[in-house]
């Protein structure tokens, strides 16, 4: 990795971690996902994955509310999700053409935000029931019990992605 991209990756990671802690006490409103996604858009699949995995590991492992190191299955789910979100950012890059209208970019970004939130929420929601041996019905019950928080996370990600990604692309085009 060339030095310029290494510095950009470090900035994206610092921004993701810093914004994660800044919004720590706001339930299900977070900016880590959009920063990781944008890092993939900007730096490509491989570097987006590195930013995603390392940022989430540091954020979760050093979380003052509760370290992810205490519950490894959840930490693994979080890190793998962010690896994939960084990868998705790199894969989706060709769809965010500078010639597309701002409204199209906002809709596409919102759909990406929804997809990324679903990926993250599904992997973290099933990490606990699977690790403790819950059956299918218990796992579904567990998922349903948190559906309101999941819904808030998904809607907030749609809004955040719809605003942040097109503005970022406009500034960096």
How much is the pLDDT for 63? 93
Residues whose CB is less than 8 angstroms from the CB of residue 123 and which lie 6 or more positions away in sequence, other chains included: 77, 78, 80, 81
How many Cβ atoms from other residues are within 10 Å of residue 137's Cβ?
A: 8
pLDDT digits (tens, 9 = 90+) for 120-167: 999 999 988 888 888 889 989 888 998 999 999 999 999 999 999 999
Contact (CB, 8 A) for 117 and 153: yes
Percent of the chain with pLDDT over 70: 99
Q: What would the pLDDT profile of 76-94 be if each residue is shown by its tens digit?
A: 999 999 999 999 999 999 9
Q: Which domains are present in the chain?
A: 3-171 (1.10.1760)
């Amino acid at each position: 990795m060339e030095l310029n991209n290494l510095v950009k990756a470090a900035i994206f990671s610092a921004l993701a971690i810093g914004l994660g802690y800044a919004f720590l006490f706001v339930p299900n409103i977070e900016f880590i996902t959009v920063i990781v996604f944008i890092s993939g858009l900007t730096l490509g699949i491989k570097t987006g994955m590195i930013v995603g995995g390392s940022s989430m590991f540091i954020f979760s492992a050093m979380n003052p509310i509760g370290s992810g190191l205490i519950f490894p299955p959840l930490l693994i789910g979080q890190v793998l999700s962010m690896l994939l979100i960084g990868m998705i950012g790199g894969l989706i890059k060709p769809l965010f053409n500078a010639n597309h209208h701002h409204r199209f970019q906002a809709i596409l970004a919102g759909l990406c935000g929804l997809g990324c939130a679903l990926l993250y929420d599904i992997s973290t929601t099933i990490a606990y029931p699977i690790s403790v041996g819950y059956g299918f019905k218990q796992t579904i019950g567990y998922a349903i019990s948190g559906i309101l928080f999941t819904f808030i996370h998904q809607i907030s990600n749609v809004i955040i992605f719809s605003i942040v990604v097109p503005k970022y692309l406009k500034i960096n085009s």
